Amino acid sequence: MAKRIALLTGGGDCPGLNPAIRGAVLQAASLGYECIGMLEGWKGMIEGTYRPLSAADVEEIVGKGGTILGTSRTNPYKKENGQQRVMETFKKHKIDALIAMGGEDTLGVANKLYKDFGANVVGVPKTMDNDLSATDYTFGFDTAATIAVDAAERLRDTGRSHRRVMVLEVMGRHAGWVALFTGIAAGADYVCLPERPVDVKDMTAKLKAAHARKNVALVVASEAIELPGDKQEEKLDEFGHMILKARGVAERLTEVIQKETGIETRSAVIGHIQRGGPPTLFDRMLGTRVGVKAAQLVHEGKFGHMVAQKGDQIVAVSLAEAVGTLKTVDKDWLKLLDTLTGATTAAAAQPAGAR
Ligand code: F6P
């Protein structure tokens, strides 16, 4: 009988999951394994619900958004006997190894199961937030930022017609990568990141100057930024994370900007639109490569590891290392951003002769 690999996708979905599932299944099939797909993340492992995953089942999913397996934010360690039930599912359904695709939370559970029970798990990093430190990039990020750039440019068009300041709120949780890349690639006049408090004075000066030059100014803001006078949002998910979508950052930032600049300001929240649609070329390639590598790690018996992109290579890193620290925007990136958004304002402030 062929050995059996189970796959699951947990946490927020993102473009690139289907290419990763396809890569893993095709590689596993060529190594002689049978694959099954657990439904809705760790929920499927707790309840033992799954669907077969043959090579034919995945051959046409590389360009599809979402995940054909469904997902959830279920944490087995927060359910009654959840972790034991997961381990029973391994036995009951004759699962030899599990490939868990997810972010910090999903992989954190995989790491715990490996440590607590010696479970045969391999991790595949995914998140549009790009906040896992053990890998250069996670699939989902490129597509999300690409969609957000398009949204930002559309906002600027309408903003220019009405001579407004436009604010785009993007996702990204406590890492500002989506906002940073969107802001740089769309040529935003100001970018607000969770990595540093919003400097209202600096922002106001730059937006006023940009608006005076171009009749429009564009701001990209990450959903987790702190505004002066902000109170912490209390609603938490099963992994203890703040549910950020209820914070209304864009609206509050809009009020601040309008008050401080005196310029009419409008905002838009792109939200889950960033997580849908076909993956970009980059995410299809990365998803495929990490999926293939994950099946190879199973074959080599390298459990307790996660696949990661390091430079041009796809390598194995320990799961413990992978879930250890969050990757946030560092000071070099902040410096680059400030150079880009500060140069025109600084030049305009100089006397004509000095330019
Ligand atoms: O972690 C991915 C992410 O898209 C975050 O950027 C965002 O804060 C969160 O998920 C939204 O989660 P949900 O889909 O549960 O609303």
Residue spans of the domains in the chain: they are 4-139+279-324, 145-276
- CATH class of the domain comprising 145-276: alpha beta
Largest CA distance in the chain: 82
CA of 47 to the centre of ligand 1 (A): 24
In Å, how far from its chain's centre is CA 284? 15
Alpha helices in 200-324 (DSSP H): 200-214, 249-261, 281-300, 319-322
pLDDT computed for residue 351 by the predictor: 57
Quote the tokens at residue 40.
Answer: 């809705």
Written as one letter, the residue type at 134 is: A
pLDDT in tens, 236-248: 788 877 777 667 8
pLDDT digit string, tens, across residues 117-174:
999 999 999 999 999 999 999 999 999 999 999 999 999 999 999 999 999 999 999 9
Catalytic residue among 13, 57, 96, 129: 129
Contact 21, 39 (CB under 8 A): no
Atom 14, ligand 1: residue with shortest CA distance: 12
How many CA atoms are closer than 13 Å to the CA of 267, on its beta-carbon side?
Answer: 22
CA distance 98 to 93: 12
Question: Is position 199 annotated as part of the catalytic site?
Answer: no
Q: How many CB atoms are located within 10 Å of the residue 161 CB? A: 10
Ligand 1 atom closest to Cα of residue 73: 15
Domains 4-139+279-324 and 145-276 belong to one CATH topology:
yes
pLDDT tens for 313-345 read 999 999 998 888 899 999 999 999 999 998 766
Fold held by 4-139+279-324:
Rossmann fold (3.40.50)
Ligand 1 mean position, distance from CA 244 (Å): 8
Instruction: Tell whether the model's pLDDT for residue 355 goes beyond 60.
Output: no
Ligand 1 pocket, residues with Cβ under 6 angstroms: 12, 103, 127-129, 171-173, 223, 244-245, 275
Distance from the CA of 173 to the center of ligand 1, in angstroms?
Answer: 7
What 8-state DSSP symbol labels residue 166? E
Neighbours of 217 (CB within 10 A): 29
CB of 55 closer than 8 Å to CB of 44: no
